[in-house]
Amino acid sequence: MTRRKRMLADLEEDIRDHLERETQDNIDRGMSTEEARYAALRKFGNVTRVKEETWKVWSVEWIEQLLQDLRFGVRTMWRSPGLTVAAVMAIALGVGINVGIFSVLNGLALRLLPVPHAAGLLSVNQVFHFHRQPDRLIHNDASWFSYSEYLNYREHNHVFSGLVAYEPYLEATLRNGAARQVLGTAASCNYFEVLMEHPALGRGFVNSDCATAGRSAVVVLSDSLWRSAFGANPSLVGEQVVLNRTPFTVVGIAGPGFAGTEPIPSAFWVPVTMQEALEPGINRLASDNMSWLAVLGRLRRGVTMQQVHADLAVIAARVDQLHPGRATSLVIRTATFFSSPDQRQYLIPVATVVLIAFALVLLIACANVANLLLARASVRQREIAVRLSMGAGRWRLVRQLLTESLLLSITGGALGSVIAFGSFNWITRLVTSHLPHDFPPIAVNVGPDLRVLAYALLLSVVTGVVFGLIPALRSARADLNNSMKVGGTLGSPARKSGRFLLNTLVGSQVAVCMVLLIATGLLLRGLYHAQNVDPGFEIKGVATTFLNLERQGYDQAHATQFMRRFQEQIRAIPGATEVAQAECAPLSHDFSASQFTVQSDGDTVFIEYNHVSPDFFSLVDIPILRGHSFSPDETSETHGIIVTESTARRLWPDQNPLGKVLREPSGREDWVIGVAKDAQVAHLGESTSNYLYFPAGPQQDTRSYVLVRYATNFTDVAKSIRDVAHSIDPGVSIDVTTLDDYLEVWRAPARIVAALSGTLSALALLLCSIGVYGMVSYSVSRAVHDIGIRMALGADGVDIARHVLWQALRPVLIGGVLGVGLSAAVSGVLTSLMFGLGAHDPIAFVSVPLFLLTVALVATFIPARRAMKVDPIIALRCE
Amino acid sequence: MSTKEQQERIELLQGTLDLLILRTLKLGPMHGHAIAKAIEFRSDEVLQVEQGSLYPALHRLINRRWISVSEGTSENNRRAKFYALTARGRKQLTVETGKWDKLARAIAQILSPGEQEEA
């Protein structure tokens, strides 16, 4: 028994004992038994109060008061179910969407990697500072490592028990049964050991697998590839599978839960030394100056981050000595998806914008609930005044009111979070339905973890305080004298400041809502714009297929042979009118660019380029304005190039561009033989940047797009194209789409964001109109008396309605103007993220405010009509 | 009890009950009723202590470890709780008495400045 319990257990007995003694004393003094007992009780005072006060000595007061407040809060909520449901729903909505989006971000960038003991895995990245022209080659991510750099860190560090390197997103064609494209990983041979992901069947890699480049053709397959392509055949280990043209021996099947350490699952793993077998012609291992390997280290037990930084910095300095003109700083953090500074640089601003947009909706919800509570607070003013005049402390009262609002917000937050966790499937479907069809699946765990739960709780508490504090403080400041009188609130100063508060809340709601709506308006306008954009070339009716024959194991001679036959046979397809070849198909997100030196003045310029066959220009209908197009016998060996008109104008203003010379970094010189019309062939919405065309040659055959203009329907043509490819090589993997599809990819970000922000603004608008409606009905119901008097004095319904409308619309107008101003200020951020947005698109900036104003008018009109119908006799008799 | 008698009695100032209990217990361990009686008796029955308020005060003092409590047998052989001053309580009594004296002097000085000047 605690001291407290022991002390209190005897209290009752002590008091009885005390009373008996006193009674006895009184009897001794000559009182009758009855009289003596009453006298003793009188002298003792209120027994219950004495007990309570004694208990209080031993109780932790705030806990008991909290329980008391909670009990009272629940009772209050129960008594006004309408208000409770409205408030809880508003908060559930606001908190729910915020928790939902946070879970996604958490899954994307905050969660540890899905491997055992992930907290001990560090991601190591390099940030280079170049003293002169950067000369780093980049494959996938600028902050990754070359193989020799990786080996340097692996051999010389003292802080990791193991350091792995891997190249993710290796495309390969699996040639067992029907050819299929898979994404895999080339990994250092300690990969499975350091990640503690021992394959479920067979073995992982051993050191000898990585000893000699190109020697050990072994592969570990993912569980899902093993199941989908090989029917989970247990005797597959030891068998051979063909990736591209190289046969690999299956040595293991990875555990069912393991799909690599990138958001896009890996289907297979090969030793890093087999890289060239999968990417023929590119020997990344030998390049000391290429970023292509992501590096993860498993921290040695007991080593601190400071030690890691100090130890690796020494190695970085040593590596820098091999590369004069550059200084490396390392970015080391606990490994998650998107660990590299390069990726975070993009992710963080986007995440911030998204989180802010979602938080704004929560803010509107808060304002709504605050409004509701304020309205109720004025109903409860008498209750509160009574408590205050009976001696309740103001702070105590504020605490009680805050407890009530926290109760509301946490209930709402819990409900919202549960709904959010339940609705992920729906959101995922929404997002993926807007992604291009060949977009790889993403393995991101969006389930709730401690961090998400903490965020949900924090959000709920902050919400509760935000919407609860103002009404609570105001109530506790109540003017006792006035509130106690019946109807005493009329015309009192408290009422005036209350109206100001209500107006401020509604005004800010409208402002926030306006920002969201205008953002959506801009996005929708951008989308519309993108849908109707004229790219400057004929994008309709063109089938396109990308053939990376090199990846599929072709050498250049075979590739050229394949390409020639392929194009010849396509020409024979009924319905195919033109065929052309291009290194980068228009708008395919495939870019090539280089520095060129302009011979006439020695300037270096950055120019994007493309290698195209002669038919390209006529196929996509880009006219040659001066000079002539390539002739069929021109290849990359010849020196003629075609520039766009803007490029010509920029490089040789007011001169004839024909015959002008550009020097490539290799020293090779090319001269202009033609000028093509500007078109948005590389970036949608951008036609005037520097761009030039080289003639396509055999070098391009290993990796090239084939464009086919067709006159019939796409499905037939696509089937014929595939049939042609398979008739030449049954094992070739080919995917046929249209140029239009590429356009979809450009629109996808705007479309996803527009869908999300559209949903958000619809919610915001709903909440906002409820807010305006609530405020107006509330003030009308409070002003019935005033209206009655006005009517009695001769005002007619229209006057009253005009008055009510004006009163209500003033905060709406002020908020609206503020919102428009705010949007104008922040729309620059949006435009930088999304294609095709005009930052000050007049249509969005005019129509959205008008729309919001209309909604506000409707929301106001309903209660205003009620005000018109006030019967002065009834209104005044109410008093 | 006549009305006149009641008017002569003085309500206890807040906080002074603790001091009175400590002072009373300086005479030796006592049970609750005896403490109440002693205070009444020693103040010539001028101080009106609502006897019930003794108990929260006793518990407060126990909680602060200024007094201790033990089971015992009273003068008429009844089982009772005896409260006794602890060492800390004794120290506290000195402090509190000092404070009280100061307060009393100060108030007296304000209420009758003339007498003080004469003295």
- Please compute the mean of the pLDDT values over residues A405-431 and round it to a whole number: 85
pLDDT tens sequence across A205-238 = 999 999 888 889 999 999 999 998 898 998 999 9
Q: Which residues touch A58 (CB under 8 Å, ≥6 apart)?
A: A4, A7, A8, B59, B63
- Please compute the mean of the pLDDT values over residues A839-868 and round it to a whole number: 82
A29 confidence band (pLDDT: 50, 70, 90): confident
Contact: B51, A43; criterion CB under 8 Å: yes
Query: Does pLDDT of B16 surpass 80?
Result: yes
Query: 3-state DSSP call for residue A868?
Result: helix
CB atoms within 10 A of CB A79: 9
Query: Does pLDDT of A324 surpass 50?
Result: yes
Which of A4, A20, A21 to mutate to probe the B interface, most B CBs <10 Å? A21
Query: Does pLDDT of A379 surpass 80?
Result: no
pLDDT of residue B4: 42
Q: Which of A11, A22, A25 sits opposite B55 (nearest CB)?
A: A11
Q: Report how many Cβ contacts below 8 Å link chain A to chain B.
A: 51
Kindly tell me the burial class for residue A430, based on how many C-beta atoms sit within 10 Å of its own C-beta (0-12, 13-18, 19 or more): middle
pLDDT of residue A202: 93
B8 confidence band (pLDDT: 50, 70, 90): low
B2 confidence band (pLDDT: 50, 70, 90): very low
- Which residues of A fall within a CB distance of 8 Å from B78? 17
- Please compute the mean of the pLDDT values over residues A184-201 and round it to a whole number: 94
Strand A326-334 to strand A121-130: parallel, antiparallel, or no bridges (unpaired)?
antiparallel
Contact: A57, B36; criterion CB under 8 Å: no
How far from the centroid of its chain's Cα atoms is residue A189's Cα?
35
Q: Which of A7, A21, A45 sits opposite B52 (nearest CB)?
A: A45
Query: Does pLDDT of A616 surpass 90?
Result: yes
pLDDT tens sequence across B18-63 = 888 999 998 888 888 888 888 888 877 777 678 888 888 888 888 8
- For residues A637 and A406, the model is more confident at A406
Question: What angle, 0 to 180 degrees and rounded to 10, lies between the N-to-C axes of helices A394-422 and A381-389?
Answer: 140
Contact A231, A200 (CB under 8 A): no
Contact: B80, A17; criterion CB under 8 Å: yes
pLDDT tens sequence across A549-569 = 887 778 889 999 999 999 999
pLDDT of residue B119: 42
Of A281-290, A598-607, A684-693, A838-847, the least confident = A838-847
**How confident is the prediction for chain A on average, in pLDDT?**
85
Pick from A229, A230, A234: which is nearest to A199 by CA? A234
Which of B17, B40, B55 to mutate to probe the A interface, most A CBs <10 Å? B55
pLDDT tens sequence across A625-645 = 999 899 888 776 788 999 999
pLDDT of residue A455: 92
- For residues A870 and B11, the model is more confident at A870
CA distance B103 to chain A (A): 26
pLDDT tens sequence across A434-492 = 665 556 667 778 788 899 999 999 999 998 888 888 778 877 776 666 666 554 444 44
A305 confidence band (pLDDT: 50, 70, 90): very high
Q: Tell me the residues of B at the A interface, defined by beta carbons under 8 Å apart.
A: 32-33, 36-37, 50-53, 55-56, 59-60, 62-63, 69, 78, 80-81
pLDDT tens sequence across A811-851 = 889 999 999 988 888 777 766 665 555 666 778 888 888 98
Contact: A47, B36; criterion CB under 8 Å: no
pLDDT tens sequence across B63-94 = 888 998 888 777 667 777 889 999 999 998 99
Contact: A57, B63; criterion CB under 8 Å: yes
Q: Which of A21, A25, A54 sits opposite B55 (nearest CB)?
A: A54
Contact: A18, B33; criterion CB under 8 Å: yes
pLDDT of residue A491: 43
Burial of A494-505, coded b for 16+ CB within 10 Å and e otherwise, reads: bbeebbebbbeb
Tally: H helices and E strands in chain B: 6, 4
Contact: A7, B50; criterion CB under 8 Å: no
CA distance A395 to chain B (A): 23
pLDDT of residue A554: 83
| Dihedral sign computed on CA atoms, order A489, A491, A492, A493 | positive
A138 confidence band (pLDDT: 50, 70, 90): confident
CA distance A58 to chain B (A): 7
pLDDT of residue A490: 43
Contact: A17, B63; criterion CB under 8 Å: no
A255 confidence band (pLDDT: 50, 70, 90): very high
- Please compute the mean of the pLDDT values over residues A60-65 and round it to a whole number: 73
The chain A residue lying nearest B82, using CA atoms, is A14
pLDDT of residue B6: 47
Kindly tell me the burial class for residue A382, based on how many C-beta atoms sit within 10 Å of its own C-beta (0-12, 13-18, 19 or more): middle
Question: What angle, 0 to 180 degrees and rounded to 10, lies between the N-to-C axes of helices A61-79 and A394-422?
Answer: 60
CA distance B44 to chain A (A): 16
Contact: A7, B62; criterion CB under 8 Å: yes
CA distance A476 to chain B (A): 28
The chain B residue lying nearest A52, using CA atoms, is B56
- For residues A317 and A746, the model is more confident at A317
Query: Does pLDDT of A273 surpass 70?
Result: yes
A409 confidence band (pLDDT: 50, 70, 90): very high
| Percent of chain A predicted with pLDDT > 70 | 93
Query: 3-state DSSP call for residue A546?
Result: strand
**DSSP letter, residue A337:** T
pLDDT of residue B118: 47
Of A14-23, A641-650, A782-791, A807-816, the least confident = A782-791
CA distance B86 to chain A (A): 17
pLDDT of residue A440: 64
- Which residues of B fall within a CB distance of 8 Å from A42? none
Long-range CB pairs of A101-105 (<8 Å, 24+ gap) are A101/A354, A101/A355, A101/A358, A102/A355, A102/A452, A102/A455, A103/A420, A103/A421, A103/A424, A103/A446, A103/A447, A103/A448, A103/A452, A104/A427, A104/A444, A104/A446, A105/A351, A105/A354, A105/A355
Cα A355-A356-A358 angle, rounded to 5 deg: 65
Query: Does pLDDT of A536 surpass 60?
Result: yes
ipTM score over 0.90, yes or no: no
Contact: A44, B52; criterion CB under 8 Å: yes
Contact: A18, B59; criterion CB under 8 Å: no
pLDDT of residue A724: 93
Name the token pair of B17: 């009950």
Of A261-275, A507-521, A732-746, A824-838, the least confident = A824-838
- Please compute the mean of the pLDDT values over residues A697-722 and round it to a whole number: 90
pLDDT of residue A833: 60
pLDDT of residue A487: 47
pLDDT of residue A772: 82
Q: Tell me the residues of A at the B interface, defined by beta carbons under 8 Å apart.
A: 7, 10-11, 14-15, 17-18, 21-22, 25, 43-47, 49-50, 53-54, 56-58
Contact A830, A517 (CB under 8 A): no
Question: For residue A249, which amino acid is it?
Answer: T
Q: Which of B32, B53, B62 sits opposite A14 (nearest CB)?
A: B32
Query: Does pLDDT of A338 surpass 90?
Result: no
- Which residues of B fall within a CB distance of 8 Å from A48? none
Of A11-25, A324-338, A553-567, B63-77, the least confident = B63-77
Contact: B59, A57; criterion CB under 8 Å: yes
Strand A691-695 to strand A604-612: parallel, antiparallel, or no bridges (unpaired)?
parallel
Query: Does pLDDT of A137 surpass 50?
Result: yes
The chain A residue lying nearest B32, using CA atoms, is A18
pLDDT of residue A485: 58
- Which residues of A fall within a CB distance of 8 Å from B37? 25
- Please compute the mean of the pLDDT values over residues A734-740 and round it to a whole number: 87
Q: Which residue has the tokens 């006193």?
A: A22
Which of A18, A22, A23, A29 to mutate to probe the B interface, most B CBs <10 Å? A18
Q: Which residues touch A266 (CB under 8 Å, ≥6 apart)?
A: A168, A183, A184, A185, A222, A259, A260
CA distance B15 to chain A (A): 14
Q: Which residues pair with A548 in a beta bridge?
A: A703
